[in-house]
Copies of this chain bind each other. A is one copy, B any other.
Amino acid sequence: MSGAPVTIGEAARATGVSAKMIRYYEETGLIAPAARTRSGYRLYVASDLHALRFVRRARDLGFAVEDIRALLALWHDRARASAEVRALALAHVTDLRRRIDALEDMARTLEDLAAHCGGDARPDCPILDDLAAGPPPKPAATPTRGSRAGKASALPLRSR
C-alpha cells in the first residue's frame, strides 16, 4: 500500500510496460512527463501507475497508440458521454474484424492449397503453382480495378 513514488524500473515491473516504452509514451505525450528526483530519475506515483496499466490494457486490446490518446482523454474527462467511448471501441472492433477476415481468407486459401499438395518427396506442388500464377482472377465484372480502395489501419499488434 505504500504510496511512495517508484523509479521507472519498478513502474515497469508493476504495470507490465517496459521502461523503454514508458519513456517513449512520455516522449510522445501519451502520458504526462514524470516527476524527477534532483538527480533526474523519473518518479511514478500510484496515479501514474494506474495510467500506465490503462495504456497497457488498451494495447492488449489492440488499440493503436493514437486511439489510446483519445481514450485517455475521455477517461480523464469526468463529464464524457459513454457513447463516445463506445463509438471508439466499436470502430476498433470493426477494424479488428476486417483484419480477421483478411487473415482468415489467407489461412483458408493456404489450407486449401495444402490439402491438394502431396506433401511427399515429389516436386509437384499446387502451392507453388498458385503462387506462380500470381494474383487470383478478379471475381467480378467491375471496372478491372476499383481495387485501389480504402487503406486499412496499419495493425497495431504485438503478442509479446
A residues near B (Cβ < 8 Å) are 15-16, 50, 53-54, 56-58, 60-62, 71, 74-75, 78-83, 85-87, 89-90, 92-93, 96-100, 102-104, 106-107, 109-111, 113-114, 117-125, 127-128, 130-135, 151-152, 154-155, 157-160
Contacts and interface: CB of A to CB of B under 8 A. Distances in A.
A155 B158 CA distance: 8
Q: Main SS of the interface on chain A?
A: helix
Contacts of A90: 110, 114
Contacts of A121: 81-83
Contacts of A119: 82-83, 86-87
Q: Which 9 A-B pairs have the closest CB atoms?
A: A53-B134, A152-B159, A82-B125, A86-B119, A96-B107, A62-B106, A81-B121, A83-B119, A85-B125
Contact of A100 (B50, B81, B103, B120): B103
A158 B150 CA distance: 12
Contacts of A117: 82, 85-86, 89
Given A75-B131, A107-B93, A125 B57 contact: no
